[in-house]
Structure 1
Amino acid sequence: MDTQPPTFSVVAPVYNEEQLIAEFCRRVIAALEPLGEPFELILVNDGCRDRSPDIMRELHQRDPRIKVINFSRNFGHQIAITAGTDYATGRAVIVIDSDLQDPPEVIPDLIARWREGYQVVYGVREERQGETWFKKTTAAIFYRLIVRITNVNIPVDTGDFRLMDRKVVDALKRMREHHRFMRGLSAWVGFRQTGVLYRRHARAAGTTKYPLRKMLRFALDGITSFSYLPLQLATYVGFIVAAISIIFLFVVFVMRLSNPAATEPAFYGQASTLASVLFLGAVQLISLGIIGEYVGRIYDEVKGRPLYIVAETLGIDETAATSAGNMRTTHKEQSPVIE
């Protein structure tokens, strides 16, 4: 077994990918071996419910460069990326999904730009194969919206597929917020950044792990992590409603003076009053909901719970395990607890 420290660490979250995980590892290794430098492939088992954990164990036994982190349960895609980067020891860390939509063959292109001096090299999707019109449209709107409402230059049409220099990874390891938007955090830290164009492929097997509900939650995490605009919008709407109310009262007052005999015009009736009350109530509830989203995130942070719990690691260096020790159940390997 090669004890030379890895130059590259590839981090891949895995959730129910039994049909693809072996092929994914084969293609990653095939992309990296011609470079002639040591590397490691870290698979993060995010609470898989299929045969993925058994397959990953077999892959590790056949090739020690394939290392495995088993979570005690499902903690989510962004947390799995965080755990992988916590344990990665390479000078450069490449994050890629294990569903083969992001082709591993692009990794050498990312590395080439890193050798030119760039410290974050992200993949830019020039084409998204196998995705619906709805998903493509909403993704395009989201990326352009978040650029406009935040002061962080988050590249558009990008995902989590990227290479990060060790300095960037060390900076990210100091950020422990629970509602994580990793592509935003990697932009926030700064450093020299550039993109590499590639074509995102359709899924070869399995189903998407990001249905509409998770996509909406992910978008909300991204917006609330980097922008106060929703809170400011609640204030703006309050001022607008107040202004409309004052104008309405002024109109009613003028019409009363101009036609005092009209005791009950149509807009003085109960219908207009009920509509006004319902409108104001809706504005108040929406504003409270926005505030509640931010308060809920504060509550999650002050509880101080770890981002994840590791049940077992396979092939992970003890130095890396010790550096992430506050997130492990133990420094020794033990039986996995997969829910």
Structure 2
Amino acid sequence: MDDTSAGRCVAANTNQFDEQTLRPAPDSLSIIIPFYNEAECVDLLLDALLPVVRPLCDTIEVICVDDGSSDKTGPFLLNRCNDIPELRVIRLSRNFGQDAAITAGLAHSSGQVVCIMDADLQHPPTLLPDMLNAWREGSDMVCMIRKHRNDETPFVRSAKSVFYWIMQRICSFEMVQSAAHFRLMDRKACDALLCLTERSRYQAGLYQWIGFPTTYMEYTPDQRAAGSTKWLLLPMLNRALRGIISFSSAPLRIWSFTGATIACMAFFYGFYIVVKTLIFGIDFPGFATLATLILFFSGVILLSIGMIGEYLAGLFEEVKQRPLYLIYETRGFEQGTTERNS
């Protein structure tokens, strides 16, 4: 295994285990992979993944979730079901988003250990044995941390750093920067995630929120096998805003504090004006200052209303209780789990 794909354990909140306390190899393993317009990656991924996972466990399943792709991703996956007995395919009725697709895969998984990875091969399958070893040492969650992302612009990297800085300070739990969806978890951690029924999901935050003993391992993402990234700037900003709103009411409290501060400043400034007028008489100059103050406070009011509106929009989504996703068809689950002889 070369330096570009080797994982290295850098932090853990688990205790050290000796050989006698190692967990036995899992009875079953589920791999969950969300797809969105990744037709070019289907064959490349499966051909790279299956030789790695087949020796790891006697009972395995590879659950591919087609998140409403508009290309040939769905048909290609269904076609591969004919010659890959371990393959399971879930096709959603439309694009519900990566978090919903991952949740659909988790809900249909049956493995004692569950792994989540991307379809573009930037998450190297060769790291799965190391992740499984970390699980055997006692970790209920093995989270992969990106060393770097050379495919991101300096602006995007800086924006992500600011986002994680904010999340670290407003959340009641630790948010680990650059933690990827690429992770392995025990069945009890998977079940805990499925107990969270919220509709507006920020999956990266939910992984951290549930807790459980976690090992963090560094990895270097490989180059994309084919196609182009689906993560554009606007969706990333929307996702960041959803993450902040989902896990903290701090923005609302900030605006309450801001309003109280401005009200105090306005009171003292008004007192100053009254005293000045009584002593020196009425002074007409100051229109520019007055106009500037009106525009400034109008902007503050609109921003605060907008922030309240974001929380109300999230509440509106939750109250409707619509399903997180709708399934168009499934393939391969009727076979049950695939058992292989050692």
TM-score range, shorter chain: 0.7 to 0.9
Paired position in structure 1 for 2:155: 134
Paired position in structure 1 for 2:80: 59
Paired position in structure 2 for 1:239: 260
Residue 276 of structure 1 and its aligned partner are, at CA, apart by 2.2
Counterpart secondary structure, 2:32? strand
Paired position in structure 2 for 1:263: 283
Deviates more, 1:28-37 or 1:110-119: 28-37
For 2:261, give the aligned amino acid: I
Matches within 5 A, 1:39-54: 39-54=60-75
Paired residue total: 312
Q: Provide the C-alpha distance between the structure 2 equivalents of 1:134 and 1:202, rounded to a whole number of angstroms.
A: 20
Q: Indicate whether 1:116 and 2:137 are aligned.
A: yes
Residue 36 of structure 1 and its aligned partner are, at CA, apart by 4.3
Q: Provide the C-alpha distance between the structure 1 equivalents of 2:110 and 2:49, rounded to a whole number of angstroms.
A: 17
Paired position in structure 2 for 1:105: 126
Partner of residue 189 from structure 1, selected from 201, 210, 223: 210
Deviates more, 1:236-245 or 1:70-79: 236-245
Residue 142 of structure 1 and its aligned partner are, at CA, apart by 1.5
For 1:309, give the aligned amino acid: L
Residue 118 of structure 1 and its aligned partner are, at CA, apart by 0.4
Sequence identity, in percent? 37
Residue 97 of structure 1 and its aligned partner are, at CA, apart by 0.9
Matches within 5 A, 1:86-235: 86-235=107-256
Residue by residue, what CA displacement relative to the aligned partner does 1:265-300 show, whole Å, maximum 9, x if unpaired? x22x3x333322222222111111111111111111
Q: Indicate whether 1:289 and 2:267 are aligned.
A: no
Paired position in structure 1 for 2:321: 304
For 2:298, give the aligned amino acid: G
Counterpart secondary structure, 1:44? strand
Residue 204 of structure 1 and its aligned partner are, at CA, apart by 3.1
Q: Provide the C-alpha distance between the structure 1 equivalents of 2:153 and 2:93, rounded to a whole number of angstroms.
A: 34
Q: Provide the C-alpha distance between the structure 2 equivalents of 1:247 and 1:318, rounded to a whole number of angstroms.
A: 75
Residue by residue, what CA displacement relative to the aligned partner does 1:94-152 show, whole Å, maximum 9, x if unpaired? 11111112212112211111011100110011122322222222222222321111001
Residue by residue, what CA displacement relative to the aligned partner does 1:185-207 show, whole Å, maximum 9, x if unpaired? 12111111111110123323212
For 1:263, give the aligned amino acid: D
Q: Provide the C-alpha distance between the structure 1 equivalents of 2:277 and 2:301, rounded to a whole number of angstroms.
A: 30
Deviates more, 1:143-152 or 1:224-233: 143-152
Deviates more, 1:33-42 or 1:216-225: 33-42
Residue 37 of structure 1 and its aligned partner are, at CA, apart by 2.9
For 2:303, give the aligned amino acid: I
Residue 253 of structure 1 and its aligned partner are, at CA, apart by 2.5
For 2:311, give the aligned amino acid: Y
Asked which structure has the greater RCO (Cα within 8 Å, sep 6+), the reply is 2
Partner of residue 59 from structure 2, selected from 38, 60, 84: 38
Residue 6 of structure 1 and its aligned partner are, at CA, apart by 6.3
Give the aligned CA root-mean-square deviation in angstroms: 1.8
Residue 61 of structure 1 and its aligned partner are, at CA, apart by 1.0
Q: Provide the C-alpha distance between the structure 2 equivalents of 1:92 and 1:13, rounded to a whole number of angstroms.
A: 17
- Is the Cα–Cα contact under 8 Å of residues 141 and 212 in structure 2 kept in the other structure? yes
Matches within 5 A, 1:74-85: 74-85=95-106
Counterpart secondary structure, 2:54? helix
Counterpart secondary structure, 1:243? helix
Q: Please, which runs of 5 or more residues in structure 2 have no aligned partner?
A: 1-25, 338-342
Q: Indicate whether 1:278 and 2:295 are aligned.
A: yes
For 2:50, give the aligned amino acid: I
For 2:201, give the aligned amino acid: R
- Is the Cα–Cα contact under 8 Å of residues 129 and 199 in structure 1 kept in the other structure? no
For 1:178, give the aligned amino acid: R
Q: Indicate whether 1:13 and 2:34 are aligned.
A: yes
Residue by residue, what CA displacement relative to the aligned partner does 1:152-191 show, whole Å, maximum 9, x if unpaired? 1122221211111100111111111111111211211111
For 2:77, give the aligned amino acid: M
Counterpart secondary structure, 1:49? coil
Q: Provide the C-alpha distance between the structure 1 equivalents of 2:129 and 2:223, rounded to a whole number of angstroms.
A: 21
Paired position in structure 2 for 1:331: none
- Is the Cα–Cα contact under 8 Å of residues 110 and 163 in structure 1 kept in the other structure? yes
